[in-house]
Amino acid sequence: MSGEISSFLIQVNTILEVISQGNLEEAGSLVKNLSSQGLDGNDAVSTVHRLQNLVTHLQKQTKKNKEHVQELCMSRDKFFSIISHDLRSPFNAILGFSDILTDEWDELSDVEKKTFLQNIKMTSRNTFDLLERILEWSRVQNGKMKLSPVKLDIFRLVQDIFLMFAEKAELKRIRMISEVIPGTTAWSDTDAIVLILRNLISNAIKFTGKGGLVTVSAIPTGQMLMITVADTGIGIVAGNIEKLFRFEHQFRQEGTEKEKGSGLGLVLCNDVVTKLGGRIWVESIEGAGSRFSFSIPFFPVVLDSKF
């Protein structure tokens, strides 16, 4: 009997040593072999069962960590792709237009000069928007964006953001309508909600043609407030909807005036809404517009202080 106990303990010790070395596949095989030896006694059976659970747990955790590392590497590669391609291209365009204006100013007509200057302005604005998205995304990923939930006046917040985009909407003759009832409130972080609404309204204007309509509404749903930004734009192909909020896909689509985007805006919105205790989703039909909705709590909730 003592020989069996000694053999059992030696095998358990070997399994623990293999686990400590990180060789979980071998540890799993050793535990399986030990359990097939017809163990006597409740303590022995219990020990093997615990070893099986430990190995299974560690295997799952290792797989999860590996997937997380892969996601981080993918995010890093995507991020550098944005930096190297999406920033280099517009700067090349700006430098090109500037060279033409500098070298050929006297030969160009007023119409040509105005066209080049408008191109420089549009490219500069799009590049600035891209830089803002990159900086916002970086802050969220690095945990630098702190949450300070307060009681927000959603009606006033939407009005302020409409003013922010008034010029851009006017250029495309797009009407922006708020259906938010005065006095509508929610409990959330001001900067975070501004970030989300700014991205959603900016996208709505970008993907809506001249003479279109962008509408913002806010409807109570249980303990949450559902805010929706709807447009009469070009909509989204059904197969692309699931790609919108995932960084690894980084879905991009040109606006109705060939406006460019980084693909970061909606990924950022998803990250922030999740940290706020809500969720974000979209309903869209190609050629018939989109409805982006997100929910945030009505009442105070415990949130991470930063993310």
Dmax of the chain from CA atoms? 104
The pLDDT assigned to 145 comes to: 66
The pLDDT assigned to 43 comes to: 66
The pLDDT assigned to 137 comes to: 67
Question: C-alpha distances in angstroms, 30 versus 48, 60, 61, 63?
Answer: 10, 18, 19, 20
The pLDDT assigned to 44 comes to: 72
What distance in Å separates the CA atoms of residue 263 and residue 246, rounded to the nearest whole number? 9
The pLDDT assigned to 250 comes to: 59
The pLDDT assigned to 307 comes to: 47
Q: Where are the beta strands (DSSP E) in the chain?
A: 149-153, 175-178, 185-189, 213-221, 224-231, 280-284, 290-297
What distance in Å separates the CA atoms of residue 22 and residue 27, rounded to the nearest whole number? 9
The pLDDT assigned to 306 comes to: 47
pLDDT in tens, the chain (307 residues): 556 667 777 777 888 888 888 888 888 888 787 777 766 666 677 777 788 888 888 888 888 888 767 766 766 666 666 666 567 767 888 888 899 999 999 998 999 999 889 888 888 887 787 777 677 767 766 666 677 888 999 999 999 999 988 888 998 999 999 999 999 999 888 888 988 998 899 999 999 999 999 999 999 988 899 999 999 999 888 878 877 877 655 566 767 776 666 567 788 888 889 888 899 999 998 888 999 999 998 876 555 544 4
The pLDDT assigned to 82 comes to: 60
The pLDDT assigned to 56 comes to: 83
Give, rounded to a whole angstrom, the gap between the first and last alpha carbons of the chain: 57
